[in-house]
Amino acid sequence: MNIRDKTTEVLIVGAGIAGVSVAYELAQRNVQVCVVEVEDYPGYHATGRSAATFVNCYGNDIIRSISAASKPFFDYPPQGFSDHPLLAKRGALFVAGKDQTGDLDSFISEPRNARFLKSIGVLEALTKVPALRRASVSAAAFEKEAMDIDVNALLMGYLRGLREAGGMLVTGVKIETLRRIEGVWEAKVSDRSFSAPIVVNAAGAWGDQIAHLAGTPAMGLLPKRRTALTIDPQVPHRDWPLTISIDETWYFRPEGGYLLISPADETLCMPCDSQPDELDIAKCINLIERVTNIKIREVVSKRAGLRTFVPDGSPVCGYAEDVKGFFWLVGQGGYGIQTAPALSVIASDLILKQKKQSGPLVQGIMAEDLSPARMID
């Protein structure tokens, strides 16, 4: 979009799922909002490379509470949001090897998992995924309610709703300076500036860099690379569930006519346009060939994305305490897609101060659970 200086009520830095979803939610509340993105199109990094599946048994208690609060949006999105469902039935199969059955038993017996997980026999597991080697499965559990998420439909729905509500997205701009002058943030790029009393830092792995520009302490964000390949397994696989080792060292699931496979790596790295490492590719192929009878002759595609965490594994969502009008929305880790609907509502409530700080944001979550203050020594 060819514009010059722009003044708005809320300036959002980053057009991944976090930035776009909160922009949508604010725009629905008649807030003037502008999203700026350094890449040429939204969702370029973690969002566009996600293998998102809505799994109820993922994450810590805070992640699970936000996911549970997000589920109604996925099931019943607003009218006109998408022309087809955001979720599709998939199921999730958790597999334990011979030395991992205790870990699986503990996982199943966790009270928070009890309503979703069912222990199943080895033969039933092999019926669901015939390619699994018998020797690699000593025990298994199944989550029937796990669903594929149509990430593109979710992102496009948010963008469409943002535009229809008068919000703005500007791509291909890198913030060079960020200063607060007389109660207003001014973000300078090469040939223009953006001004707003509130800045939302939804820059993902680059969040600490934006904080540095604003003169506020970093969160200590931890970007971790995750590798994924697609292959043709040469066997019928369209109805296979998401299949995960209980120690989370590999997983696979159908995707776009192929089989997506991953070594579930979490390699700490600097913020970057992440690319698959050849060692991780080889490791992935070796792992999948070891636990299945699939012979991988060709890699159809390969990708890597950054999943950005903070040390306690929960998102950071709240105003910085040392500078006014600077709002953090980072650290969703690998759960940004499935938590986006509820987290964007939580963030919007906090941005507009429409929730009492003393009350719960959603069931079981208080503002201090997400506050950036918890990360500052």
One digit per residue, the tens of pLDDT, for the chain of length 377 reads 445 678 999 999 999 999 999 999 999 999 999 999 999 889 876 665 677 899 999 899 999 999 999 999 999 999 999 999 999 999 999 999 999 999 999 999 998 898 999 999 999 999 999 999 999 999 999 999 999 999 999 999 999 999 999 999 999 999 999 999 999 999 999 889 999 999 999 999 999 999 999 999 999 999 999 999 999 999 999 999 999 999 999 999 999 999 999 999 999 999 988 899 999 999 999 999 999 999 999 999 999 999 999 999 999 999 999 999 999 999 999 899 999 999 999 999 999 987 555 556 777 789 999 999 998 76
Structural domain containing residue 155: 6-52+151-221+313-375
245, 349: one domain: no
- Domain boundary at 285, 309, 333, which? 309
Domain count, the chain: 2
Q: What are phi and psi of 172, to 5 degrees?
A: 70, 25
β-bridge pairing 139-143 and 147-149: unpaired
C-alpha to C-alpha distance for 242 and 360, rounded to whole angstroms: 33
CATH classification of the domain holding 298: 3.30.9.10
C-alpha to C-alpha distance for 377 and 366, rounded to whole angstroms: 20
**What's the chain's length in residues?**
377
- Domain boundary at 252, 286, 309, which? 309
- Domain boundary at 309, 336, 354, which? 309
283, 273: one domain: yes
In a domain, 317, yes or no: yes
360, 325: one domain: yes
343, 248: one domain: no
In a domain, 190, yes or no: yes
277, 323: one domain: no
C-alpha to C-alpha distance for 144 and 117, rounded to whole angstroms: 8
Query: Would you say the pTM of this structure is higher than 0.75?
Result: yes
C-alpha to C-alpha distance for 70 and 167, rounded to whole angstroms: 23
In a domain, 1, yes or no: no
Q: Collapsing DSSP states into helix, strand and coil, what is residue 191? A: coil
CATH classification of the domain holding 363: 3.50.50.60
Beta-carbon contacts of residue 98 (< 8 Å; ≥ 6 apart): 138
* 324: region left, alpha or beta (phi > 0 left; psi from -120 to 50 alpha): beta
In a domain, 62, yes or no: no
Between the alpha carbon of residue 184 and those of residues 11, 16, 40, 187, the distances in Å are: 11, 24, 27, 10
128, 239: one domain: yes
In a domain, 71, yes or no: no
231, 217: one domain: no
* DSSP letter (8 states) at residue 373: G
240, 370: one domain: no
297, 160: one domain: no
Q: Tokens 């993105």 label which residue?
A: 37
166, 295: one domain: no
pLDDT reported for residue 49? 66
Q: Tokens 């699970």 label which residue?
A: 64
29, 39: one domain: yes
CA 287 from chain center: how many Å?
Answer: 25
In a domain, 299, yes or no: yes
238, 293: one domain: yes
In a domain, 73, yes or no: no
Q: Collapsing DSSP states into helix, strand and coil, what is residue 251? A: strand
Strand partners, 328: 201, 318
